[in-house]
Structures are given as C-alpha cells and as structure tokens.
Chains A and B, each alone.
Chain A
Amino acid sequence: MTTVTAVKEPKQDKAFNVVNYFVLTIFLLVVLYPLVFIISASISSPIAVSSGEVWLWPVDITFNGYQAVIEYRTIVSGFLNSLFYAGVGTIINVTLTLLAAYPLARRDLYGRNVLMFFFAFTMLFGGGLIPTYLVVKDLGLLDTRWALILPTAMGVWNMIITRTFYQVTIPNELHEAARLDGCDDFNFFWRVVVPLSKPIIAVNALLYAVGHWNQFFNALIYLTDQTLFPLQLVLREIVIQNRIDPGAMVDASELARRQELRDLLKYCLIVIALIPPLIAYPFVQKHFVKGIMIGSLKG
C-alpha cells in the first residue's frame, strides 16, 4: 500500500476513511459487547444483574457462581468428558485427515480422481439423520464414548484443505530426492511430510477440537447415560431448559436459600464453556488464516 499513499489523497477519501473506521468500530462493538456483558455478569452480584445495574463492568464482584459451578457434579464431569472427547477425537481426526490428504496430493497415485470423487461425493449426498442413527445403533455404539468420536472421525472439507496445502508446499522434487536416497513412502510421510505439516496440523487440530468441544447434537441422540454427557449437553439442560438438579449440588441447602444464584450459575457456566476455544485460537491464529487461505483459494 505504500506506493498508493505516495499520491496525494483526494478529499473524499478522508470522509471515506472516517466512515470506514466508524463502520468497523460498530462491527467490533456489536460482536464484543455481549461477550463482555456475560463475563461481567458472571462475577457480579445476582441482584445487580437482575435489576439492570450491570450493563458493562461488574458490580459488587462475587465469585459465588463459579464456586457453585465447581460444586455441581454434572458440570465437572461434563467438563472432563468434553476434554476427553476433544483430546482423543482430535488425535483421531488429525491422523485420518493426514493419512487421506497426503496420498491424494500425490500426482502419481493411480485412481486419484476416482478416490477424490469418493470422498467429495459425501459433501453433496448423505444418508441423513435417521439412516446414520441406525448405523451407529447397529454398530453397538449407542451409549458409548465412541459414539461421539467415530461418526465424526474425519471431515472431508478439512481433508481437502490439507491436500491442497500439500500440493502447494511439498514439491515433488523433494519426494524424488528422498526416493533416490532409498526412502519409501511411509518413511517419507513420517520423517518429511509430517514435520513440514505443522501449520496445517495446527489448523486442523484447532478446527476439530473446537468442533468436538462445541458438539451437542450427537450426544443428544446417541447418549442417555448422564455420566458420559459432554459439557454442552449439561449446559443445555441448565441454561436453556432451566433444569437445575439440587441433588447434583454438593451444598444444596446453600443454593436453595439463594434463588438468584440460579441465574448466576448460568452466566458462569457459559463463561466456562466459552473459555477453552477462545484461549486456544489466538495461539494458532497466524497458522490459521494462512492455512485456510491456501486451502480455500486453490481448492
């Protein structure tokens, strides 16, 4: 842009800049405000929240809500379950994605187009909710942890982005040179391709982990055992369906005495569910934008 600035700006451009920054500030505030409010409300006194005194910064700071969250058994087990699903699920996701993407990026793979079609076809057609449910049921996965991991073991979209990444970043000469040195495909994949894949692994891991963390629908249809519930399902029961089980509270009398704590608990629970993805993504952000752009533009 430096060369452009060298020319003197027309007058209208100053007005344009003002409007432009104004529009962007509006976008920024609209997105940011609800999040700031939720966080403020979660550490404010419940009375101040319901009477409308809290509108931006916290009023009468209290951490009772978070204490109640920690003492609520289903929330704690939901949190741990979600960590498990996100951890194990993501490892499987990333492994399968790399295993599919690398061979399909190789131009000397016979039947490559047919295989690509085999994968991409499922982006347009699918069995739909009921037949998929029946498959999971027939495999005996209902009410097991696998029900939340196996049916989403790989995303075709992610695989295509990864494949494009390989086509762009791993030159064929590299493979040929390794071949001459007596390196077979497994070794080449493990010693050369995987180490060069850090940015795309980061992108994939983030997308998959967030997907697992945020997933609730599969848990809703495949699980009935409360001890397996991920956090999102617990969240749905408490925040949206307003189902708070006093029995799940270690200190039930405390909560019963203060009805307002109910709402506070909801704000805190939302913040807790929000935090992991929001913490994770700035770390991979620089890879992220690059990875997505490479994948989506050339794909």
Chain B
Amino acid sequence: MATLTKERRPQTRRSGSGRDRGVRRAKRAAIGRQIKHNWQLYVMLILPVAYMIVFHYWPMYGVQIAFRNFNPIDGISASPWVGLQHFERFINAYQFWPLIENTVFLHVYELVVRFPLPIILALALNHVRVRWFRASVQMITYAPHFISTVVVVGILFLLLDPRTGLLNNLMSLVGIEGVNFMGDPGMFRHVYVWSSAWQSMGFSAIIYLAALSSVPQELHEAAVVDGATKLQRMWHIDLPSIMPIAVILLILDIGSILSVGFEKVLLMQTPLNMGTAEVIDTYVYKVGIASQVPQISYAAAIGLFRAVIGLVLLVIANQIARRLAKTSLW
C-alpha cells in the first residue's frame, strides 16, 4: 500500500501557490496527526536509538581527541588543541611505512584468495543434484564461520607447532625439515590468509547460492535445448547472474582494506613474526590501551588516519565499479 504522505504530496503540489501557506499548514497537521497516531512506534525506538547515540555517536564526538592532547583530568572537551601534530608524528615515525606495507599487503593478499573461493564453491554446489551431498557440503563448509578466532588461532598453533604439531610430523615422515610457521615472518601472511579462507568460504558462499537460486529456470532449459554443456551454462548463465553481488561484496572489501581482521592478527602475533605481523590496528591497540603509558591522542589519530584512508578507498572502488560493472553501493 502506498503511504499516506506519498499519496498526498502530489496533490498538494498541484494545488495553486496562492494557497501555499494553508497547504503547508494542512500538511504539517497531517504529519502531526501521523506522528500522534503512531506514537507507540516511536516509543519502541527509544531504546535502540539511545543505544546508537551512546555507543556509536558519542565515540564519534570523541574522535576530536586526535586533534588534542588528551589528559584524563580535563576530559575530551577541555584538553588543549594541537592540530595535526599527532598525524605528523605518525607519518614521520619509522614504523609508518612498515605498518602501511604490512596492512595493505596482508589485505590485498587476503582479498585475492578469499574472493574467488566462495564463488567457485557456490557454482559447484549449484550443479549438485544429490540432495544429501549438497546439504552436507553446505553444512560442513560453513560450520567454521561459527568457530571463534581464538579457537582458530589455537588450532593453528597446535597443528603448526614446530615440535609436536601435526604438519611438521607429517613433513618429517616424508623427509622435509620442520618449519616454525608461527615464528616465521615469511610464513605469517600465508598462514593468516589461508586459515581465513578456510574459515569464511562456506559462509560467504550462502549469498551467492541465494543469488543463483533466483536465476530463472527457463534460461537453463533454453540453453540445454540449444545444446549447451553444464560448463557453458555455468559460464554464461550462472556467473553473470552473481556478478552484481560479487561486485558489491568486492567494493565493501576494498573499503575495509586497512582494517584487516584485527583480532586474528593480534592473536597470531609472536615476538618472532612481528616483522610482517604488526598492522595499523594492532599498533593502535598497543600504543593506546595495552601500553604502560597509553598515548591516547596519538593512538586515536592513527585510528582516524586509517578510517579516512579506508573511506577514500571505498569511494574510489565504488566509482570504478559504477563505471566498469554498472553496479555500485550508492
């Protein structure tokens, strides 16, 4: 059903401008009546809105400490302004380039690995007709999504242990020398990315499967009549039909390029792999919260720096997608 306001608006616009004020008053009265009529809906919204204000908008107000020298006694609004001092300090810090490199490299690598796998899984599943097989593959591949990061990293530490881990035991059986996966900066990225793929591919495939299920059956039937093989149908019917969703997910991923799965990185860090394992978010955590002398403002500035670049990337990715794929977030 069309809404009350939407039905009325065109009528009021059509009426003469001489009666403008009266019309506006009538409209305002109509809105007032509508709000009064639905007051209970607004009451329901009070708690959720209060939550959003306190835990989402209040922190946004607190972002200004990135431009101040925060001290707990004065609080957020009374601490002195220092402008861009903290940002300059970060850009000139010797950790700056390694941090950027680690963060960007890790995420781009993850994107390249994680993006195609769910698509392959979904396309393959879509052509399975044996019900129980399809159901069990689906159920088992998305189970890891429900496993906590701590458990996944715990499993990694146990399986990859240089002394007692399964992988090194298997490798020594075939005569390959053991590798200390979790203590090797060269291995960190591979372990991180492939374990993330292990954890997420089944779940990410759900959305693609949903898209595939809405492909009209007639398309496939027509293709079969024309003698198309399954592979051709997959390529010419299934793949194009999930492209719009794939593009949107890709844009979102690029937008979060600097905020790689931060908890997991933090958990996987060991003193030995820090060379590649320190990313912007873990650095913010260490400088701002975990340190003996927390540098709150400096850490907030680094966090803001990351967020702004992430947003710029999101906008750029969206523009490119709109040009090339005719799909975009907004």
Which residues in A have some Cβ–Cβ distance to B below 8 Å? 1, 3-5, 7, 10, 12-13, 16-17, 20-21, 23-24, 27-28, 30-32, 34-35, 37-38, 41, 49-52, 54-55, 95-97, 99-100, 102-104, 106-110, 115, 118-119, 122, 124-135, 139, 150-151, 153-154, 159, 172-173, 184-186, 189, 210, 213-217, 221, 232, 235-236, 239-240, 263, 266-267, 269-270, 273-274, 277-278, 281-282, 285, 289, 292-293, 296-297
B272 located at the interface, meaning its Cβ lies under 8 Å from any Cβ of chain A in the complex:
no
How far, in whole Å, are A270 and B149 apart by their CA atoms in the complex?
Answer: 11
> Which residues of B92-129 are within 8 A (CB) of A?
120-121, 124-125, 127-129
| A contacts with B: majority SS | helix
Q: Contact size class for B?
A: 35 or more
B44→A103 contact, CB < 8 A: yes
Q: How far is the CA of A269 from the CA of B51 in the complex (A)?
A: 35
Tell me how far the C-beta of A234 lies from the nearest C-beta in chain B, rounded to whole angstroms: 9
Does B146 belong to the interface (CB within 8 Å)? yes
- CA separation between A133 and B294, bound complex, in Å? 12
Question: Given A21-B128, A130-B284: A100 and B48 within 8 A (CB)?
Answer: yes
CB distance from B29 to the nearest CB of A (A): 13
A130 touches B158 (CB 8 A): no
Contact B281 A214, beta carbon cutoff 8 Å: no
What residues of B have a CB within 8 angstroms of the CB of A16 in the complex? 127, 229-231
Task: Point out the residue from B128, B148, B227 that lies within 8 Å of A273, measured CB to CB.
Answer: B148
Known A-B contacts A126-B59, A263-B158, A266-B158; A274 and B151 likewise in contact (beta carbons under 8 Å): yes
| Interface residue? B82 (CB, 8 A) | no
Asked if residues A130 and B129 are in contact (CB atoms below 8 Å), the reply is no
Which residues of A lie under 8 Å from residue B65 when comparing CB positions? 130-131, 134
A184 and B39 CA atoms in complex are apart in Å by 10
Give Cα A215 to B35, complex, Å. Answer: 39
**Could you tell me if B44 and A129 are in contact, using CB atoms closer than 8 angstroms?**
no
Once the chains bind, are B267 and A297 in contact (CB under 8 Å)?
no
Interface flags, B144-175, vs A, CB<8A=1, else 0 = 10111111011101110001101001101100
Q: Shortest distance in angstroms between B197's beta carbon and chain A's nearest beta carbon?
A: 10
**Does the CB pair B41–A106 fall under 8 Å?**
yes
17 of the cross-chain contacts (CB-CB < 8 Å) are A4-B217, A4-B224, A28-B137, A31-B140, A100-B45, A103-B44, A107-B3, A127-B56, A129-B289, A131-B60, A131-B300, A133-B289, A135-B54, A214-B149, A217-B263, A277-B147, A297-B210
Say yes or no: B48 contacts A240, CB within 8 Å: no
A274 and B147 form a contact (CB under 8 A)? yes
* A contact residues around B90 at 8 Å (CB): none
Give the 4 A-B CB pairs with smallest separation, nearest first.
A127-B59, A52-B169, A131-B62, A214-B148
Given A128-B59, A151-B55: A159 and B48 interface contact (C-beta under 8 Å) = yes
- Nearest Cβ distance between residue B105 and chain A, in whole angstroms? 22
Residues of A within 8 A of B172 (CB): 52
Distance of A21 Cα from B31 Cα, bound (Å) = 59
**Is the pair A172, B1 in contact by a Cβ cutoff of 8 Å?**
yes
Given contacts A96-B48, A97-B48, 7 further A-B contacts (CB under 8 A): A10-B227, A20-B128, A34-B159, A109-B38, A129-B289, A221-B289, A274-B151
CA distance A154 to B166 in the complex (A): 40
Check if B141 is an interface residue, CB within 8 A of chain A.
Answer: yes
Q: Is B58 an interface residue (CB 8 A)?
A: yes
CB contacts (< 8 Å) of B31 on chain A: these are: 110
CA distance A49 to B159 in the complex (A): 11
Decide: A210 and B146 in contact? CB cutoff 8 A. Answer: yes
Q: How far is the CA of A100 from the CA of B52 in the complex (A)?
A: 11
Q: In the assembled complex, how far is the CB of residue B312 from the closest CB belonging to chain A, in whole angstroms?
A: 12
Separation of A12 and B154 alpha carbons in the complex (Å): 44
- Give chain A residues whose Cβ lies under 8 Å from the Cβ of B56: 122, 126-127
Q: How far apart are A90's CB and chain B's nearest CB, in angstroms?
A: 14
Residues from chain B with a CB closer than 8 A to the CB of A215 are: 148
A99-B45, A108-B4, A127-B59 known; A293 vs B35 contact (CB < 8 Å): no
**Scoring B residues 16 to 51 as 1 if CB is less than 8 Å from chain A, else 0, what string do you get?**
000000000000000100110110111111011101
Say whether B220 contacts A4, CB under 8 Å. Answer: yes
Q: Closest CB of chain A to B106's CB: distance in Å?
A: 18
Bound together, the chains give a CA A216 to CA B154 distance in angstroms of 13
Interface centre among A32, A130, A150 (most CB of B within 10 A): A130
Contact B51 A96 (CB under 8 A): yes
Q: Which residues of B contact A240 (CB under 8 A)?
A: 150, 153-154, 157, 267
- Neighbouring B residues of A135 by C-beta, 8 Å: 54-55, 58-59, 62
Asked whether, in the complex, the Cβ of A129 is within 8 Å of the Cβ of B303, the reply is yes
Residue in A12, A31, A108 whose CB lies within 8 Å of B144: A31
